[in-house]
Chain A
Amino acid sequence: MKEFALIFRLSDIADFQPSPEQMQERMNWLGGIAAQNKLVDKGNTLLPAPGTAKTVKSDNVVTDGPYTEIKEFISGYIVVRAETIEEAVAMAKGNPIFKIGGSIEVREVLKRN
């Protein structure tokens, strides 16, 4: 079994505060993965608001917010267990984030010793 990080991205900061229905859908999705014993790490939410996010660049340049070149920002991540990247992608497809224009990046984890 391999491990994959699912990295969630949103484009509108207004979507960051989910409605109770969205919360429930998201939780059902997560519970469904855990029910297959394929959740390695339930991960964390990464706050995007002013005062909670800054980007540090070369030459001591510090900007507010998580944005780099594009407006999309990372809102959180989890780590799942799967045989192949296709299986991890299939898991990601069930996430309700696509209903609000978000995206999920699937990345195989290489563990450092």
Chain B
Amino acid sequence: MKTDELIPHLFRQEYAKMTAVLCRHFGLRHIEIAEDIASDTFLKASENWAINGVPENPSAWLYTVAKNKLKDSLKHISVFDTKVSNEITLNETQVDKEFEFDSQIIADSQLAMIFAVCNPANAGESQICLALQILCGFSVEEIATAFFAKKETIKKRLQRARVNLRNDNFKIQTLTSIEIESRLQFVLRTLYLLFNEGYYSATNDRQIRTELCSEATRLTLLLTENTLTNTAEVNALLALMCFQSSRLNARTDQNGTTVLFEEQDRTLWDRQLIQRGNYYLVNATNDSTQYRTKYHLEAGIAYWHTTSDANKWIHILHLYNQLLLIEYSPATALNRAFVFSKIYGCEKAIQEAEKLNLTESNYYHELLGYLYADINIEKALYHYGQAVENTKSKKERQTLQREIIRLKTSV
């Protein structure tokens, strides 16, 4: 990463952390005041550091400035006796004592903020947008790029989500086990979706995609650092993210076109990430009460993909079978049919695939096109044609059309 990219990147994360710490004082009802103070602080830093150079301890510098701004703001509020004054009752000494950049307070506030954002009142996509804005410090433009959506759409989605966040009365303080129990599932779901948004994103912007994945991983890692949230399921999700991330660089070529799994250059796989994945997967199996969650199964599938074991497809099929018993999804059903072909051949897999009858899905037709390619070229061409009609992605259409031409010329 270049220096001019590195600084906004660091600022973004520090900004999110600082907002979380400030929300301990203002509460989520007044999250905007906390955000204003945090952005003022970083504005001041960028002006000051450009002239005087980066201070020896940048973090201490930032929190000292923020602390002063917080005191000013509280004074200001009490002078004008605004509506918020009733709710903000801290005096300055308390601020001095509490508003330290103690790493424990920062970590606790961040963790609490994750749980606050993952409010079940918000729909999945709104939660992801909110998480990107509040937990990761992404701008509306960046979120719009990630979702391949208009800025206005994202703004509206965020506004609605923020209303729920403000009205939720969730306290930014050290989490209790009751809060954790009631929300951990939503937190994991959001982080999982956030990761997938990066991994399978509609956008071709490779940098944004990688950032979404690494942000989701960073937040999940944070959960493992607190004993209350370091559960088997959290470790399974983290293992899944590590395994998937290890292939990020091999998944697209220089033009941004998706490279099929079997054609990926395995030397591009990140061995270190695979080892991290193995480590978390072992942690995930320590607790026998929570052995087979969805994340365990998906992490298991991702694990087998990293190996060259002769029987790996049998293991993968078994895991897909179990995954479908827990939660049906068309994508899982299609993946299962593909894996079926690896063990039992294309003819049997066609029978499995055709039963799915997902005729609206381009992936369904793409799979059947692939399975029929060596058996019945007419049918293969028909299904690839249907896939072209149903896909919304330009890149995918190009890949499919190349395949159609290849099949036609091979006759």
Contact = CB atoms under 8 A, between A and B. Distances in A.
Interface string A1-44: 00000000000000000000000100110111011110100100
Given A31-B321, A34-B333, 14 more contacts: A27-B321, A30-B325, A31-B324, A34-B321, A34-B324, A34-B328, A35-B324, A35-B336, A35-B337, A35-B356, A36-B357, A37-B328, A39-B328, A42-B325
Interface residues on A, range: 10 to 19
Contact of A39 (B325, B332, B352): B325
Contacts of B322: 27, 31
18 contacts: A24-B318, A27-B318, A30-B321, A31-B317, A31-B320, A31-B321, A31-B322, A32-B352, A34-B325, A34-B328, A34-B333, A35-B324, A35-B352, A35-B355, A35-B356, A37-B333, A39-B324, A42-B325
A30 B357 CA distance: 17
B65 interface: no
Contacts of A37: 328, 333
Contacts of B332: 35
Interface in B35-84: none
B314 interface: yes
Contacts of B333: 34-37
B321 A28 contact: yes
Interface size class of B (residues with CB under 8 A): 10 to 19
Interface in B339-365: 340, 352, 355-357
Interface in B311-336: 314, 317-318, 320-322, 324-325, 328, 332-333, 336
**Contact residues of A: prevailing secondary structure:** helix
Interface string B158-181: 000000000000000000000000
Interface of B: 314, 317-318, 320-322, 324-325, 328, 332-333, 336-337, 340, 352, 355-357
Contacts of A32: 352, 355
A36 B321 CA distance: 12
A27 B340 CA distance: 12
Nearest to A28: B321
Contacts of B352: 32, 35
Nearest to B357: A36
Contact of B314 (A24, A31, A36, A39): A24
Contacts of B357: 36
Nearest to B340: A28
Question: What 10 A-B pairs are tightest by C-beta distance, nearest first?
Answer: A31-B321, A34-B324, A35-B333, A37-B328, A27-B321, A42-B325, A35-B336, A34-B325, A31-B324, A35-B324
A42 B318 CA distance: 15
Contacts of B340: 28
A32 B314 CA distance: 15
Nearest to B348: A28
B331 to A, nearest CB: 11
Contacts of B321: 27-28, 30-31, 34
Contacts of A39: 324-325, 328
Contacts of B320: 31
A42 to B, nearest CB: 5
A81 B151 CA distance: 43
A32 B321 CA distance: 8
Nearest to A26: B321
A36 B318 contact: no
B359 to A, nearest CB: 13
A20 to B, nearest CB: 10
A10 B356 CA distance: 30
A36 B355 contact: yes
A90 to B, nearest CB: 10
